Structure 1
Amino acid sequence: MTAGTGDTSLQSEVTEAEAGAKEAAAEAHHGAKGKKNLRGDIEGLRAVAVGTVLIYHVGIPFLPGGFVGVDIFFVISGFLITSLLLRETVKTGTISIADFYARRARRLLPAASVVLIVTALLGWALLPGPDRLNLGADVIAATFYVINWALALRSVDYLAEDAAPSALQHYWSLSVEEQFYVVWPLIIIVGLMVARRTRMRPKPLLFGVLAVIAAASLVYSVLHTKSDPATAYFYTTTRVWELAIGALLAFLVLRLTRLPRLAAELLAGAGLLLVLWSAFFLTSKTPWPSAWALAPTVGAALIIAAGCATQATATARLLSLKPMVWIGGISYAIYLWHWPLITIAKTAWPEVRIRHLVLIGIVSVVLAWLTKHLVEDPVRFHPGLSAKASRGLLFGLASMIVTALVGTAVWATVPKLDEDAKVPGATALVADPSSDVWKVREDASKVFASSGTTTPDPAVAPEDVPRYYDDDCQVQPGDADVDTSCVYGKTDGDQTIAMLGDSKMGQWFPAVEAIAHDEGWRVELYLKSACSFTYDGARSDCEEFGRNANKHFDEEGAPDVALVSGGAGSSPSLRKGMTEAISELKAKGTKVVVLSDSPRPGKEQVYTCVEEHPDDFSTCAFPADEDNGRKGRGTKALQESATAADVPFVDLNEWICPPGKECPPVIGDSLVYRQGSHVTATYIRTLTPMLYRALAAEDLTSKNSDEISVKDIP
């Protein structure tokens, strides 16, 4: 696909000198094989970018803002790729989409595909099942450059707690770049067509369009980072402005070549200071991306701008040192290799230390050099592949298909979740099912499985979650609005039961939904990630959400019954804030019941431990007498708030961690924990009779306790 430019083309607008300047800038790094077209300052800036990222990921503490290296890469890429597109338009009057994508395929896919395949094989051999499941999906998503959206969708509460990062998480930035470069050439083509028909000058038109896109993206980045930082980090729309900064520079190359030497010196020096300040003084707690990201991106832009005028500035000479240029030349491959090696090592060997990670970093540099000379350059400059665009595109398609098949194979090795599986679970603990009052059997250890199969399989435990997650019925961090659309059970039922709190309340949804169907209740969810139902002692959006919930009840009518729980902590201010929120709800005529927080394991994921010790599950038991053991982190605040508000407090933890010194990982053939201290949906379903009886004891159900049996498992 090409676009002619006609009489108003860039070709007729620029002088030969400008075209030559654009060509020189554009071909730095993208021209013929060799070094004559390299701009040393840009190569050195690449070295700074990958170096800061590598040091940050290795865990060396003196560079807390090393993550800004990715933002620097965006600016460099925006400048170089746009320079190429503009140069092609100047020289030929056209843009060949086929040639553009073929060049991108030859440049990016060889190394990217090799690293994806090697990572998939390493992960298959070394990672536990849940991580293999995600890895297989991530290989496929990274292959087709959409992993940033996959990671954004995954960044929800139930997956965030103690979850290991994806071994391919770093591919998100490549996805953002390629999504931008799918759209950007098309915008240029449309802009040239508009310019031809309206007799407008195409260069100012395209510059203006890109400036508007950049400004809109920056504003969106600031707003979205404030409202939902977990997803904002990965969104393309929050990052486009960083690429656009570099792209805008490409339109100004000729003007920048006329900068006085002193001005270039000052710009380059200021740019380097901004980049270094960002790396040394920003931290992981800095909202990102947001207006703060202007520091490293503007800094990188200033260095590139100054380098268009001269390579003789002190900054350019420093960046052009041979070691810097050498690192810059293999920076793409270093970026690809280092993260999978680090994350897989951390997961496979939790005792790994910084010194080991430094060694892994060095190994990634060696692998990057080998990849460049054995994989990248041979394919990129292969005369047969570069002769025709169709060959490069076919090569790219073939490599993507092979890589996706490898990812699919890894994904297929992991057992799949059986949501209809039936197990006794907690009901196996009942000493006498016919008794009016249930007690935990004295020989409870007899139903603690020590080996064999479990439901769910440990490999898919993180997927065994309440179905309301699929409906996006858990409000995310930063958002304080109540979602009134999350209604379950008998929607026109006479009785309404509300669930308020965070994911620790939400984990009870399978049991509550089953009871609601039996009782004819309408169930409404007012759940928010990592937020107790409180007016104080939490994040501002949590406190606002609690007030908004009670305000909603004032306007639309309060529920008949409300279940409240959470695992957010136990500070005095939180207890006070929860008491206020619960008391206000109670004053509306709602019968409030507070549920205890579930037992909290140690740092190790229980389901991972069970998978690693298939012959001895007892290895994965954790102490029940510690502060976060059987009681659960949030239970103290919940119990004190219930007492202060004079509402019932229900503690079902004896059915999750029976009396004894340790909490078992598997009860009645059911795996108890999915992620962190969250209980699997399967085990919660087996707790339905216990919760049902507890609510009956408070006269909240039509059934009496003795009418509820261990068979009442949904």
Structure 2
Amino acid sequence: MTARQEAAAASSGARDARDQDEDGSGVARSSEEVAAAKTSRSGTALRGDIEGLRAIAVGTVLIYHVGITQMPGGFVGVDIFFVISGFLITSLLLRETIKTGTVSIADFYARRARRLLPAASVVLLFTGVAGWFVLPGAERATLGADVIAATFYVINWALALRSVDYLAEDAAPSALQHYWSLSVEEQYYVVWPLLIILGLVLARRTRISPKKLLFGILGVVALASLVYSVVHTVNDPATAYFYTTTRVWELAVGALLAFVVVRLRHLPRGAAEALAALGLVMIGYAAFFITESTPWPGSMALVPTLGAAAIIAAGCARQDTVVARGLSLRPMQWIGGLSYAIYLWHWPLIILAQAAWPEIRVRHLVLVGLGSIVLAWLTKHLVEDPIRFNPALSAKASRGLAFGGASMAVTAALGLVLHLAAPQLDEDAEVTGATALVADQQSEDWQVTSDPASVVTTSGEITPDPGLATQDVPLYYDDDCQIQPDDAQVDPSCTYGVEDGEQTIAMLGDSKMGQWFPAVESIAQREQWRLDLYLKSACSFSYDGVKDDCAEFGRNVVSHFEEVGAPDVVIVSQGSPESETRTAGMVEALSAVKEMGSEVVVLADNSTPTESKVYECVEENPDDYGACGYPAGEGREGRGTPALEAVAEEVGAPFVDLNEWICPPGLEQCPAVIGETLIYRQGSHVTASYVRSMTPMLHRALAEQGLTSTEVSQISVSDVP
């Protein structure tokens, strides 16, 4: 053997050793390695207790996702994975810095590519293809984008952006939603090796101990992330769950442990036993007593995170504690060894099963979960390990990186194909909708046709495509002009229509008011008005009977009017049921606005269907849209209408009810489609397309109150934007 061959063999051997050490996502090494780790007191070798901890982590997640309610906090398994990953990866990087004085970025990412991408790519390809044929249209529409986001490990940010939209209230979870945690980890590991290199450079220049400097840097990062997590979880829980910045501290807790392994080795047996037992109790408490209503990942996430850290810390001292021996049992080792692949497979299988069989029960989902274990075993032995330990790929970092790039290119290409193949929403499509109900379009007093059934669409092509209904929303969402929960500040930049308009019209209320934006904005353009939005998710415009942030927002809006001047016309609506305190609060708020000189118009809540996903019913019944109607007696009035009517009477404001153009009188069933236009998207929200078709009706209603320069007779069905 030549010197070069010996060097290459040594290099390959070193890489193989690092491959055996590096495992940030919960997959075991061989049983021989686990056995060797059990006899070692080293905190950096893979140990039986960590393997068993992985089994607990994936087990809690699996139990939670199949719907077993006895473990409501099973989602904390992800937090456990973060701690394990932070500990193992940082241990690897620290060992490399001790041996070489630096970190090889190329080697690190090559190992990550061989370790993570084989199984991740297989599951992405399967989910993309299977999802295209099984998922409903609304989920198919975003499937391609989700495949691409998961491929490049940014899906957590995509999900965070999606979650801030009220549309998420009825939207089914993505079949690739679970990739969010992998995205958080990989984003962390893009930055962490670079910080280590920077720390080593600074240490050389300042003569500070590299280990102490890195520990200090990581400690600051962990503390900052924890504080941000607590604050952001309180202020915006919808996005906090997915943000990398709210999760980094959990990885950092595990990473900090890697710096103190040597000190932990000297823990007395009693202390190690107590620490491990405490950690297990903390994890158990989190899994069984934390629920979905617990703000997460705020301060309560410390419970499972520190619990996992306690078990790892105790294991650094000894592997013969009662907890470590229990975690090292063969079944725990076996599940722990498959945990990464189980995590990847279980969620898409559950989502696909629920899509294929909507009435599926928990006991059937348990079988699906068991099926994910079988697929995980096959994936590990047929895909993961053969690629991960392939001598040719591990011989050079460039080969591992090339493999990683090729894998990501393939899955990204599939995502692009799925995205391009999905129907695209045409926001400017011509619609008939409500105008088809006008009995005599030449009449000044429009009436609903005496035969509304003749224009109720029961089959055929419609606008929007049912699979795109959830995307058919007012354009102001693109401008973040609906104030989110826990935010009570007025955004004066949310202005539309004519900037220097002759008059100003303002929309006040929740998303049920906001849904009328396409019509109001079109009217504002024609009337040369400026349109200002004061809309807040799930908040009636009220001083009382609403959440604190809603009441504060209402007061802030009135204060804003006092500062800049009240609008000429205010149009208000909401979707909440009648409440004495809320009604009184709305009366007080609107009276204050009216006293400033504004003309107040109260718009009835639209007819409310009994089912929240009418669009899915329409998609599933292409030959009989009539199956998706709902009893007129139950929903024609609209859930929020009684309260609004009472408010209008108290304030002395005109009350405008346009529901005859949504659920025509004379029909026993309110239809899902009128004039080839789909009426509903999420919940009882009306599609932007159908709202556009009602523009002439709303314009006429305002004209009848003398609020427009346009005469009623000048408004025709052709005025649909």
Q: TM-score range by the shorter chain?
A: over 0.9
Q: Name the structure 2 match of 1:13.
A: none
Question: 2:112 is aligned with what amino acid?
Answer: R
Relative to structure 1, is the Cα distance of residues 25 and 355 closer, same or farther in structure 2, using a 3 angstrom cutoff?
closer
Q: Is the 2:23–2:85 Cα contact (8 Å) retained in structure 1?
A: no
Question: 2:171 is aligned with what amino acid?
Answer: A
Q: Secondary structure, in 3 states, of the residue corresponding to 1:431?
A: coil
Match of 1:670 among 677, 684, 695: 677
After superposition, residues 313-332 of structure 1 pair within 5 angstroms as 313-332=321-340
Q: CA deviation at 1:594?
A: 1.1
Q: Say if 2:434 is the partner of 1:426.
A: yes
Relative to structure 1, is the Cα distance of residues 477 and 120 closer, same or farther in structure 2, using a 3 angstrom cutoff?
same
The Cα RMSD (Å) is 1.7
Q: Is the 2:632–2:669 Cα contact (8 Å) retained in structure 1?
A: yes
Q: Say if 2:711 is the partner of 1:704.
A: yes
Match of 2:392 among 379, 384, 387: 384
In structure 1, distance between residues paired with 2:497 and 2:589: 25
Deviates more, 1:596-605 or 1:523-532: 596-605
Q: CA deviation at 1:199?
A: 1.2
Q: Say if 2:378 is the partner of 1:370.
A: yes
In structure 2, distance between residues paired with 1:604 and 1:645: 32
Q: Secondary structure, in 3 states, of the residue corresponding to 2:493?
A: coil
After superposition, residues 18-33 of structure 1 pair within 5 angstroms as none
**1:69-95 Cα deviation digits (max 9, x unpaired):** 111110110000000000111112221
Match of 1:462 among 457, 470, 475: 470
Q: Is the 1:229–1:478 Cα contact (8 Å) retained in structure 2?
A: no
Q: Say if 2:252 is the partner of 1:244.
A: yes
Q: Is the 2:633–2:668 Cα contact (8 Å) retained in structure 1?
A: yes
Q: Name the structure 2 match of 1:72.
A: 80
Identity %: 68
After superposition, residues 297-308 of structure 1 pair within 5 angstroms as 297-308=305-316
**1:653-697 Cα deviation digits (max 9, x unpaired):** 111111211111111111111222111111111100000011111
Q: Is the 2:28–2:336 Cα contact (8 Å) retained in structure 1?
A: no
Question: 2:127 is aligned with what amino acid?
Answer: T
Q: Say if 2:566 is the partner of 1:558.
A: yes
Q: Name the structure 2 match of 1:16.
A: none
Q: Is the 1:138–1:147 Cα contact (8 Å) retained in structure 2?
A: yes
Q: CA deviation at 1:552?
A: 1.0
In structure 2, distance between residues paired with 1:432 and 1:307: 82
Q: Name the structure 2 match of 1:436.
A: 444
Q: Name the structure 1 match of 2:460.
A: 452
Deviates more, 1:656-665 or 1:203-212: 656-665
Match of 1:191 among 172, 194, 199: 199
After superposition, residues 574-589 of structure 1 pair within 5 angstroms as 574-589=582-597
In structure 2, distance between residues paired with 1:410 and 1:612: 21
Q: CA deviation at 1:604?
A: 4.9
Q: Name the structure 1 match of 2:154.
A: 146
Q: Is the 2:506–2:534 Cα contact (8 Å) retained in structure 1?
A: yes
Match of 2:694 among 687, 692, 700: 687
Q: Secondary structure, in 3 states, of the residue corresponding to 1:203?
A: helix
In structure 1, distance between residues paired with 2:47 and 2:263: 18
Q: Secondary structure, in 3 states, of the residue corresponding to 2:506?
A: strand
Match of 2:498 among 490, 493, 498: 490
Q: CA deviation at 1:600?
A: 1.9
Q: Name the structure 2 match of 1:17.
A: none
Q: CA deviation at 1:576?
A: 2.1
In structure 1, distance between residues paired with 2:211 and 2:606: 62
Q: Is the 1:25–1:308 Cα contact (8 Å) retained in structure 2?
A: no
- In the alignment, structure 1 segments of 5+ residues that lack a partner are 1-19
Q: Secondary structure, in 3 states, of the residue corresponding to 1:436?
A: coil
Question: 1:346 is aligned with what amino acid?
Answer: Q
Q: CA deviation at 1:134?
A: 1.1
| Number of aligned residues | 691
**1:327-376 Cα deviation digits (max 9, x unpaired):** 11111111111111112222332211111111111111111111111111
Q: Secondary structure, in 3 states, of the residue corresponding to 1:488?
A: strand
Q: Name the structure 2 match of 1:643.
A: 649
Q: Is the 2:503–2:529 Cα contact (8 Å) retained in structure 1?
A: yes
Relative to structure 1, is the Cα distance of residues 390 and 324 closer, same or farther in structure 2, using a 3 angstrom cutoff?
same
After superposition, residues 200-211 of structure 1 pair within 5 angstroms as 200-211=208-219
Structure 1-normalised TM-score? 0.95
In structure 1, distance between residues paired with 2:101 and 2:319: 30
**1:603-654 Cα deviation digits (max 9, x unpaired):** 351222222222221122122211xx11222112222222222211111111
Relative to structure 1, is the Cα distance of residues 26 and 262 closer, same or farther in structure 2, using a 3 angstrom cutoff?
farther
Question: 1:689 is aligned with what amino acid?
Answer: P
Q: Name the structure 1 match of 2:226.
A: 218
Match of 2:549 among 523, 530, 541: 541
Q: CA deviation at 1:32?
A: 7.5
Question: 1:709 is aligned with what amino acid?
Answer: S
Relative to structure 1, is the Cα distance of residues 614 and 177 closer, same or farther in structure 2, using a 3 angstrom cutoff?
same
In structure 2, distance between residues paired with 1:46 and 1:677: 43
Q: Secondary structure, in 3 states, of the residue corresponding to 1:497?
A: strand
In structure 2, distance between residues paired with 1:114 and 1:692: 54
**1:557-601 Cα deviation digits (max 9, x unpaired):** 111111111113322222222222222211221111111112222
In structure 2, distance between residues paired with 1:493 and 1:24: 67
Question: 2:643 is aligned with what amino acid?
Answer: A
Q: Secondary structure, in 3 states, of the residue corresponding to 1:594?
A: strand
Q: Name the structure 2 match of 1:127.
A: 135
Q: Name the structure 2 match of 1:634.
A: 640
Q: CA deviation at 1:517?
A: 0.7
Q: Name the structure 1 match of 2:664.
A: 658
Match of 2:56 among 48, 62, 71: 48
Question: 2:678 is aligned with what amino acid?
Answer: L
Deviates more, 1:205-214 or 1:445-454: 445-454
**1:502-560 Cα deviation digits (max 9, x unpaired):** 11111111110111011110100011111111112222211111111111111221111
In structure 1, distance between residues paired with 2:311 and 2:654: 65
Deviates more, 1:339-348 or 1:288-297: 339-348
Q: Say if 2:338 is the partner of 1:334.
A: no
In structure 2, distance between residues paired with 1:29 and 1:357: 24
In structure 1, distance between residues paired with 2:174 and 2:23: 34
Q: Is the 2:456–2:673 Cα contact (8 Å) retained in structure 1?
A: yes
Q: CA deviation at 1:25?
A: 10
Q: Name the structure 1 match of 2:352.
A: 344
- In the alignment, structure 2 segments of 5+ residues that lack a partner are 1-16, 38-45
Q: Secondary structure, in 3 states, of the residue corresponding to 1:625?
A: helix
Q: Say if 2:520 is the partner of 1:515.
A: no
Q: Is the 2:572–2:603 Cα contact (8 Å) retained in structure 1?
A: yes
Q: Is the 1:98–1:389 Cα contact (8 Å) retained in structure 2?
A: yes
In structure 2, distance between residues paired with 1:600 and 1:405: 41
Deviates more, 1:336-345 or 1:520-529: 336-345
In structure 2, distance between residues paired with 1:248 and 1:79: 7
Q: Name the structure 1 match of 2:4.
A: none
Q: Is the 1:89–1:95 Cα contact (8 Å) retained in structure 2?
A: yes
In structure 2, distance between residues paired with 1:437 and 1:712: 16
Q: Name the structure 1 match of 2:11.
A: none
Deviates more, 1:300-309 or 1:538-547: 538-547
Relative to structure 1, is the Cα distance of residues 388 and 669 closer, same or farther in structure 2, using a 3 angstrom cutoff?
same
**1:372-392 Cα deviation digits (max 9, x unpaired):** 111111111111111111111
Q: Is the 1:222–1:290 Cα contact (8 Å) retained in structure 2?
A: yes
In structure 1, distance between residues paired with 2:23 and 2:532: 58
Question: 1:631 is aligned with what amino acid?
Answer: E
Match of 2:303 among 283, 295, 300: 295
Deviates more, 1:600-609 or 1:28-37: 28-37
Q: Name the structure 1 match of 2:6.
A: none
Q: Is the 1:570–1:634 Cα contact (8 Å) retained in structure 2?
A: yes
